[in-house]
Amino acid sequence: MKILPPVSIEARRLLPNRWDLLAAILVLAFIIAFADVSRFLVHPLSSITGHDLQLHLGDLPGYALRTALRMLIAMAVSLAFTFTYATWAAKNARAGILLVPLLDILQSVPILSFLSVTIVWFLSLSPGLVFGAELACVFTIFTGQAWNMAFSFYQSLRAVPEELIEAGRMFGLSSWARFWRIEAPFATPPLIWNMMMSMSGGWFFVTISEAISVGKTNIALPGIGSWIAIAIAQKNLPAIFEAIGAMLVVIMVYDQLMFRPLVAWAERFRIGNEQSEEQPQSWALNVYRRSRLLDVLTAPFEQMMRWSYYWHPPSFGIRAATRDVDSRVANVLWYAILGLLSLYATWRIYDFAHGNLTWGDLATAVGLGFITLLRVLVLIALASLIWTPIGIYVGLRPRLTAIVQPVAQFLASFPANILFPLAVSVIVIWDLNPDVWLSPLMVLGTQWYILFNVIAGASSIPQELRDAADNFSVKGWLWWRRVALPAVFPYYVTGAITASGGSWNASIVAEVASWGTRTLHAHGLGAYIADAVASGDFRHVVLGTAVMSCFVVVVNRILWRPLYWYAERKFRLT
C-alpha cells in the first residue's frame, strides 16, 4: 500500500493560495490563544512528580497496559475526528476549501508545541490533577495520529468511483446510508494503513506525553513513557532495556490483535477484480469471526445501523457545489464569517507579537531553523546514500526481501527515541560534539521509511524489465543509472518525504537529549522549541512553532512537491 504524502505535496499548485494562508493564520492564532490562557491560569502548586513512580519490574506490565490504553483511547478519538472532520471537508466544498489546508498546517506543527500550550488549560479543566493530565496526554498522542488519518479518509471519499455512488442512488439509498455502505467501506483499507502509521507516530511521543515537563508543571503519569524518563534521570540502563522489551510486547500485541485482523478484514473492501498477491491472514480475525459472543454483542449495533439507513437527512452528502438556490446568500455569509475570523486572528497574532517579540527574536528562530533544515537535508541525503543501494540489493532478491522487509517496517514503527539515552551516554563518555553527533538521532527512526520504500520499489520491478536489461548486457553504472535508480525513484521520494517530515518532528527530542544530570544541546530550531517548553516560555514556543511549521510547509512545497510529481509522472511503472 502506498504511503500518502502530506497535503502540501498532493496539492497541484506550487504557490500557496489565500486558503493556505488563512489556515496558517488560524492555527497560529489558536495556539496563541491557548498560550495566553495558560499564562493567566493559576499554575498548579503541587505536581504529580516521579516520586511515587518506582522502577520495579513487577510494575512494568501495569504501566505497559496503561500506555497501551492511552494509545487506544487516542486512536478512538482520532477515528471520531477523522469521520467527522474529513467527511465534512469532503462533502461540503465550502468547508473543504479551508479544512484541507488546515490539515496541512496542523500536520506541520510539532507535537510538543500542542502539548505545551494546552497542558495548563487541560489541568485547569479538572479539579484533580491526574484526570487533566491524562486528557493532555491523550490529546498529545491524538495530535500525532489524527491528521494523516483524516487526510487519507478525505482523499478516499473524494475518490469513490462515480459508478458506485450512482448505483447507490438508483437503489434509493439515503445519503446517510450511502456514506456507511459505500463511501466509508471504500475508504477503509487506506485508513487502516494510516492508522498503523499513526500508531507508530504516537509511540514516538509517548515519553514526552506521559512525562510532561512544561515550565513549572512536572507530571509523570504511570506508563512506559514515564518509566523511560525516570530511567534516563537515574542513568538506569537495564531499566531502559526493560522498557524496550515491554514496548516490543505491546507493539506486537497491537499488531496481532488489532492491526492484522483489521487489514485482513478490510481486504473485502478493496475495489477491483485483481486479487492482491498475498491474501493477508490473521488468526485473531478467525477467532473473532467464529466467536458467537462477538456476534451477540455486535448484533444490536448492526440492527441500529440498519434502522438508521431509513433516515433521510436533508443535506448530508450533498456537495455544496451542486447546490444552487441558497448558495449566494450562504456564500456571502460564509465568507463574511471567515473574513471576520481572519481579521480577528491576525489582530491576535499582531497583538501577541507586538508586545512580546522583536524582529531579533524572529531572526534568531529563522537562523536556527536553517541549521535544523541543514541537518535534516544532510541526514536524509546520507541515509539515502546508504539505504538506497541496500534497498535495491535486497528488493531484487525475493528471499532476502521476505526477511528484511518486515524488519524494516517494524523498525519504522519502533520509537527510536528510546535508544537516544544509549547514544547520549556514548557522546558524553567520548566527549563528542553534540552539534554533529546528536544529529543522527533525528533520522534514527525515520530512515527506515527510505529503506522499506526502496525495497518495495525494487521488488516491484517487473521480471521482463530485468530480463531486458540482462539481455542487452546492461551492467555496472549504466544499470544503476538507466534501470535501478529510475525504477525505485518514485518509491524513494515517498519514503524520503515521510522521513523528512518525521525528522523535523524528531528534532525537538533529538537536539536536546539528556542522560542523568548531563543534558546535551545542539543548535537548532528543535532545541529552541524544546528549551522554550522546558522553561515555560510561551512566547518562544509560539514563535518557534510558527517558524518550524513554516519551514516544513515551504520545504514540502518547493522541494518535495516538484520531486514527487516529477517522479510520479516520469518514473512510475504502471
Using CA atoms, how far residue 333 sits from 115, 198, 327, in Å, is 34, 37, 10
Contact region with another protein (CB under 8 A), list: 164-172, 203-211, 462-470, 516-524? 462-470
Told to check if 290 binds another protein by CB under 8 A, we report: yes
Cell numbers at residue 334, please? 460564509
CA distance 115 to 120: 9
CA distance 536 to 231: 24
Whether 74 and 143 have beta carbons less than 8 Å apart is answered as no
Query: Which of residues 359 and 477 has its CB atom nearest to another protein in the complex?
Result: 477
Q: At closest approach, how far in Å is the CB of 489 from another protein?
A: 8
Whether 513 and 484 have beta carbons less than 8 Å apart is answered as no
Exactly one of 93, 386, 465, 558 binds another protein (CB under 8 A); that residue is: 465
Exactly one of 170, 304, 464, 517 binds another protein (CB under 8 A); that residue is: 464
Told to check if 299 binds another protein by CB under 8 A, we report: no
Q: At closest approach, how far in Å is the CB of 266 from another protein?
A: 13
How many residues contact another protein, by CB under 8 A? 24
Q: At closest approach, how far in Å is the CB of 282 from another protein?
A: 12
Exactly one of 40, 314, 472, 517 binds another protein (CB under 8 A); that residue is: 472
Exactly one of 370, 470, 535, 558 binds another protein (CB under 8 A); that residue is: 470
Cell numbers at residue 218, please? 512536572
CA distance 328 to 215: 49
Query: Which of residues 359 and 472 has its CB atom nearest to another protein in the complex?
Result: 472
Query: Which of residues 44 and 486 has its CB atom nearest to another protein in the complex?
Result: 486
Q: At closest approach, how far in Å is the CB of 487 from another protein?
A: 8
Query: Which of residues 290 and 354 has its CB atom nearest to another protein in the complex?
Result: 290
Query: Which of residues 165 and 474 has its CB atom nearest to another protein in the complex?
Result: 474
Whether 177 and 316 have beta carbons less than 8 Å apart is answered as no
Told to check if 573 binds another protein by CB under 8 A, we report: yes
Nearest CA among 466, 443, 461, 441 for reference residue 387: 443
Provide DSSP, 459-502. HTS-HHHHHHHHHTT--HHHHIIIIIHHHHHHHHHHHHHHHHHH
> Which positions from 513 through 572 interact with another protein, judged by CB under 8 A?
570-572
Cell numbers at residue 381, please? 541525503
Question: Is the Cα torsion angle 78, 81, 87, 90 positive or negative in sign?
Answer: negative
Site string for another protein, 473-502 (x = CB under 8 A): xxx--x---xx--x----------------
The number of C-alpha atoms within 13 Å of 501 and in the hemisphere containing its C-beta is 29
Q: At closest approach, how far in Å is the CB of 561 from another protein?
A: 20
CA distance 331 to 321: 11
Q: At closest approach, how far in Å is the CB of 542 from another protein?
A: 45
Nearest CA among 431, 423, 517, 415 for reference residue 201: 415
Query: Which of residues 334 and 571 has its CB atom nearest to another protein in the complex?
Result: 571
CA distance 229 to 140: 17
Contact region with another protein (CB under 8 A), list: 64-72, 329-337, 341-349, 468-476? 468-476
Contact region with another protein (CB under 8 A), list: 298-306, 338-346, 413-421, 463-471? 463-471
Q: At closest approach, how far in Å is the CB of 79 from another protein?
A: 24
Phi/psi at 212 (5° precision): -80, 130
Q: At closest approach, how far in Å is the CB of 303 from another protein?
A: 16
> DSSP assignment, residue 182?
I
Site residues, another protein (CB under 8 A): 286, 289-290, 462, 464-465, 467-475, 478, 482-483, 486, 570-574
